[in-house]
Amino acid sequence: MSGHGEKITQNQEKAIAALLKFPSIPEAAKSVGIADRTLFRWLKNEDFQEDYRKAKREVIDHAISQVQTVISSAVQTLKDIMINNEAPPSARVSEARTIIETGIKTIEIQDLDDRITKLEKILSDKRSNTKN
C-alpha cells in the first residue's frame, strides 16, 4: 500500500470510474481486470479514498446542477397545475409537495457537501502540520 501523498496509478483511476459506474465492487473490479481483493485493498488506501471521494463529489455536483436547471420548469408546472381548477386537488398537492421537498433536499445536499469539503480541508491541513 502506498503512503499518503503519492499519486494513484492509471488502473486505480480506471477502478474509480468503474466504482462510479457499476453497482458492486466485484463488478467494478472485473471491468478493470483486477481481483476483488485488489480493489478492496485500494479502497483502504488514503490517496485512493481521496480521489474516489472527489470523483463521487463531482458526480453529485453534476446531478445537483441538472436538478437546478429544471427547477424553473418544475415550478412553472406547479404553478400551472395550481391554477388549473380542473386538476384534482390531490394531484395539485402532490406536485407541490414534490417540488418543495426536492428544492429543499437540493439545498441541504449542497450545504452538506460544502461543510464536508471545509472539514476535509481542515483535517488535511492539520495532518500536513502534524507531519512537519
Per-residue pLDDT of 101-117, as tens digits, reads: 888 998 999 999 999 99
Residue ranges covered by each domain of the chain: 8-44, 57-131
Dmax over CA atoms of the chain, in Å, equals 70
pLDDT per residue as tens, the chain (132 positions) = 444 455 889 999 999 999 999 999 999 999 999 999 999 999 999 999 999 999 999 999 999 899 888 888 888 887 788 778 898 988 878 877 887 888 899 899 999 999 999 999 999 888 888 776
Cell of 87: 386538476
In this structure, the number of other CB atoms found within 10 A of the CB of residue 12 comes to 21
Q: What is the 3-state secondary structure (H, E, C) of 73-128?
A: HHHHHHHHHHHCCCCCHHHHHHHHHHHHHHHHHHHHHHHHHHHHHHHHHHHHHHHH
pTM greater than 0.85 (yes/no): no
